[in-house]
Amino acid sequence: MEFIKSYSRGSFVLISVLGVILLAGTVSGFYWVLQGIYRDISLIVTPQTLSSGLLDPISLIHHKVFIYAACIWVSVFLIFGILLWGGLRRIAVNSFKKSGKPVPKKHIRAASAADREVEQYTQQRLFLHLLSVLQREGRLVDFFSEDLNLYEDAQIGGAVRAIHENCKKAINKSLSLDAVIDRNEGEEIQVDPGFDPDAIKLTGNVTGEPPFKGILRHKGWRTRNLELPALSGGQDARIIAPAEVEIL
């Protein structure tokens, strides 16, 4: 919800600035109105009024009225600003939820070229390492490198069964896979608003807004946890499986 936080801060600053400008304008206008009234009273007073000191209480009332009115105005603008800010934030959150799109996250500081290169190299090593695990446990690369036209279907079936079992054990040990949607493929399901587009891919006649009803064609996979051995800094990541030489 980083986007909502950023939107909330921006709208709060904007409302505060506009509120201060409007408050200053209204209070200044009210002050000049009181000043005009006080000036008019000063012009119509008689010498007897001046000698009696009646103008001093009027001046005191003038200042007190201004102070009270200013405090009331500040309170009203503060309450109105908080309510307006909360309402705008609520509208933004509800709009994103109804659209079915993920709330965009806060922009992250762009990494340097060296950082991106290191991250890309690490990802490549992890991929090659997983491939080397499948080769070590199930001889997967050997199977892909074979010319299957040289073998009968029965021979291929027997080899595939062993490769499948060994690779499945290696994947379950390292990745701990779970289905994204734990339902039988071919069932009718409903995709609710707010779904994750990275986890659920919509195909077919996709129109309008969620919820959508459709047929589950593939349940998808996600990793519950990743348990790969630590990568050695001195090992060549390009070596998926070393050549084996038996010394006579």
In a domain, 199, yes or no: yes
Residue 237 located in a structural domain: no
Same domain flag for 182 and 168: no
Residues 153-212: pLDDT tens digits? 888 888 888 888 888 888 888 777 889 999 999 999 999 998 998 899 999 988 888 899
54: in domain = yes
Domain range for 162 is 113-174
74 domain-assigned: yes
User: For 203-248, how does the pLDDT look when each residue is reduced to its tens digit (9 = 90+)?
Assistant: 998 888 889 999 999 999 888 777 766 666 666 767 888 888 878 8
* 69-80 tens-digit pLDDT: 667 767 777 787
Q: Do 86 and 47 lie in a common domain?
A: yes
The residues pairing with 214 across neighbouring beta strands, listed in sequence order, are 189
Considering the domain architecture, whether residues 39 and 74 belong to the same structural domain is answered as: yes
**Does 43 lie in the same domain as 13?**
yes
pLDDT value at 56 more than 60: no
* Tally of domains within the chain: 3
Instruction: Please tell me the pTM assigned to this model.
Output: 0.43
- Strand 212-215 and strand 188-191: the pairing is antiparallel
pLDDT at site 34: 67
Asked, for residue 7, whether it belongs to a domain, the answer is: yes
Interval 23-42 mean pLDDT: 69
Are 50 and 77 members of one domain? Answer: yes
- For residue 38, being part of any structural domain is answered with yes
Span 79-106, pLDDT tens digits: 877 777 777 777 777 766 665 555 555 4
Domain boundary residue, one of 151, 174, 197: 174
